[in-house]
Structure 1
Amino acid sequence: MHSILAAAPAISVEGGRILGSVGAGGIATALTVVLIAGIREPKSGKAGPGGAGGGKKGRIRKKLTSDQAQWTGITAGTLYMTAGSIWTVGKNLSDAFASVFTNGGFGAAGLGAVSLILGSVLYFRELTPGKAAVTGIVAAGVWAQAGGIWGLPQALILTGAHAIGMI
């Protein structure tokens, strides 16, 4: 009786790319899908007059909480700026929001003040997941431009994504 020893093939992650070749644009797209799928209520499948009939209503398998939506929004907003192309809409939204406070209407206010405003809203208010996601996207752009301690989320997100080979 002979025994055969077969070795399993080694699993390797080429160049640290855990998810394969993704890129900032791919991650931005995927996170946008996560936000839309995780915060939008599905349309009900009404059939016939008055909604009677065999319509099947879709369900959300996992719904994002307010905190999950805001951090996913911050991550998505950071990657929107990194990806460029069509994703510059996130930066434009951040710039428009910041200009409301920095154009002189509120006195001498800089991006640090706008960062404090956004941080306060995200910390002290429990927004609906949709509003939390949009606020997170806006905050990502403002924080990245404000620099200082406000640049830490961007630095952590981009360093982490680069470390695992996503960008």
Structure 2
Amino acid sequence: MNAFGNGEVSTVESLPDADEWGETRSKIVEWHDPARPARKARELDGLTYLRSILDGSIPAPPIASLMNLRFLEAEPGRVVFALDPDESQYNPIGAIHGGAVCTLLDSVAGCAVHTTLPAGWGYTSVEIKVNYIRGATRDSGALSATGVVKKAGRRIAFAEGEVTDSQGHLVATATSTLLVFEVPPPS
């Protein structure tokens, strides 16, 4: 059974005339070893760490390259990222997949919380609720996402995120609950 549940398995050879569908496209994704920046994250407070990604002294995480994410701003309790949409993020009906938008929102919510944490502390998403307002395509231009901490607790933090397109139209919003914890030292 294939991903669309009709029981048929399709291969490249079974596609109709390739000229009808255009040239095959590809995307190259490159990244640095993520373990090294993660070790650095344990040594720096969250705001300093994210600002180090912004200034290029620490490489962005691999998800940034995969998803075409750019880190734009980091302040205490607030971050701004951009997602440059491309066709590799499309769903079956020709729009940016909701999972890509959710990933963007999860990233800004988490990183907003990260800006409030001391060295040696981390976070993970416990829950995220996304409201999709309008679809986006590559023609929507860069999607801008802002994450803001609503409450930074000792064990649980609450953050919100908002995504707009290049025209300023609201694309999606999210509320997120995150677990905050001390990162154990490497063994």
After TM superposition, the score normalised by the length of structure 1 is: 0.31
If asked which structure has higher relative contact order (CA below 8 Å, sep 6+), I would say: 1
Mark the structure with the bigger radius of gyration: 1
Query: In proportion to residue count, which structure has more strand?
Result: 2
After TM superposition, the score normalised by the length of structure 2 is: 0.28
